[in-house]
């Protein structure tokens, strides 16, 4: 069996030709494992409660190269996590945060991604056997990735203060 390593998160998976995201950077194996997490969350209502964190975290762990799409993606997903962890917005309100930010894309700038965001990956989330373990694992993963982006928290906080007024 040949393996490949995801350039973004370091996950080692079996090598195969498969789809990847249009602008987020990952290996096909990593993208497939992310798909398994999404399927788990969509198939069982007990898992969906952390879905926004799952999507935000994966996007920030696999941000891609500077382009209009990735600039918007990183800003919006980081602002969503900032709103949750710093402003204590419930996960159920994070979609609204993202939607409100969409009108401010002209203020977004490239946020240089942190290096080596590899301590927790989608494979760690898939080890969860219960919905409670899943929620805990996703929250731990989101916290870790969010903290790795701390250099950009002030930029996101500044923009959120404008959006919320």
Number of domains, the chain: 1
Model confidence over 52-86: pLDDT tens digits? 999 999 999 999 999 999 999 999 999 999 999 99
**Gap between the Cα atoms of 72 and 34, Å rounded:** 21
Give one DSSP letter per residue of 126-159, joined into a string: HT--SHHHHHHHHHHHHHHHHHHTGGGHHHHHHH
**Gap between the Cα atoms of 95 and 161, Å rounded:** 17
**Gap between the Cα atoms of 28 and 5, Å rounded:** 10
- What is the pLDDT at residue 152? 98
What's this model's pTM, rounded to 2 decimal places? 0.96
- What is the pLDDT at residue 11? 97
If pLDDT is split at 50, 70 and 90, which confidence band does 165 have?
Answer: low
For residue 43, give its domain range: 3-163
């Amino acid at each position: 069996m040949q393996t490949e390593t995801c350039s973004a998160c370091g996950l080692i998976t079996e090598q195969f030709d498969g789809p990847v995201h249009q602008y987020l950077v990952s290996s096909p194996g990593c993208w497939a494992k992310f798909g398994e997490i999404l399927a788990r969350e969509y198939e069982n209502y007990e898992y969906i409660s952390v879905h926004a964190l799952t999507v935000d975290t994966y996007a920030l762990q696999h941000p891609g190269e500077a382009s209009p799409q990735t600039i918007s993606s990183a800003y919006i997903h980081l602002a969503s996590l900032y709103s949750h962890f710093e402003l204590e917005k419930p996960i159920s309100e994070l979609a609204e945060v993202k939607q409100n930010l969409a009108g401010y894309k002209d203020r977004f700038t490239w946020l240089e991604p942190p290096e080596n965001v590899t301590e927790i990956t989608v494979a760690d989330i898939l080890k969860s056997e219960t919905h409670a373990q899943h929620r805990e694992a996703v929250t731990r993963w989101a916290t870790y990735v969010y903290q790795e982006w701390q250099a950009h928290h002030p930029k996101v906080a500044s923009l959120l203060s404008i959006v919320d007024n």
